[in-house]
Chain A
């Protein structure tokens, strides 16, 4: 008869420890496996792309006309950008794409220099974390 493991007796604690140990190992193995799979698929698709190289130039020209958010092919980055607030997105894109300095942005947004830089670096952290999570979910 199966009994719930309350983690009270010594052997139950041991079992919980072993299960946690195993779960971590299994998760790592799974992530490795997924990465391998991903890499293999990328290599396969790279060789396919090679055949259509001449068309790549055309596609890039087409992309240039689209708004920034539609030019992105990286869906993880796109998701991360969508989740940001209006202000964070503006500051991040203005700084990263248009190369505006913090002083200029500070005047535009009405924040201080430090405020803008804080928002910017926090945003970068958020995006990084989000992409990390997305990659693990896969």
Chain B
């Protein structure tokens, strides 16, 4: 499945596609969730929510 299809399915709130995207962008989210060299779980949660919002808001 290519990225476009995945994103479209995720936009249609299909869970498997959303999970795949979350998995795909996990490293990016983890990278930004590090504060002063320590992984901040609260921030990671917030960033996951941001990803979900982005999927909905992104205009193709």
Knowing A27-B32, A30-B43, A33-B43 touch, does A22 contact B54 (C-beta < 8 A)? yes
B32 to chain A minimum Cβ distance, whole angstroms, is 5
Q: Are A14's CB and B60's CB within 8 A?
A: yes
Q: Mark B27-60, 1 if CB is under 8 A from A, else 0.
A: 0110011010000001100110011011000101
Main secondary structure of the interface of B (DSSP, over half): helix
Expressed in whole angstroms, the Cα–Cα distance for A11 and B54 within the complex equals: 17
Knowing A29-B47, A33-B43, A33-B46 touch, does A11 contact B4 (C-beta < 8 A)? yes
Q: Are A26's CB and B32's CB within 8 A?
A: yes
Considering only residues 2-41 of chain B, those with a C-beta below 8 Å from chain A are 2-4, 7, 25, 28-29, 32-33, 35
B50: A residues at CB distance < 8 A: 22, 25-26, 29
Q: Are A22's CB and B3's CB within 8 A?
A: no
A11: B residues at CB distance < 8 A: 2-4
Which of these, B3, B32, B43, B51, contacts A12 with CB under 8 Å? Answer: B3
B43: A residues at CB distance < 8 A: 30, 33
- On chain B, the number of residues with a Cβ less than 8 Å from chain A's Cβ atoms is 20
Expressed in whole angstroms, the Cα–Cα distance for A23 and B28 within the complex equals: 8
User: Closest residue to A29 on the B side, CB-wise?
Assistant: B50
Q: What are 17 residue pairs bridging A and B, where the CB atoms are less than 8 Å apart in the complex? A: A11-B2, A12-B3, A18-B7, A18-B54, A19-B28, A21-B54, A22-B25, A22-B54, A22-B58, A26-B28, A26-B29, A26-B32, A29-B47, A30-B43, A30-B47, A33-B42, A138-B35
| Given pairs A25-B54, A27-B32, A37-B35, 19 additional interface contacts (CB within 8 A) | A12-B3, A14-B7, A14-B60, A15-B3, A18-B3, A18-B58, A19-B25, A22-B28, A22-B50, A22-B54, A22-B58, A23-B28, A25-B53, A26-B29, A26-B47, A26-B51, A30-B33, A33-B42, A138-B35
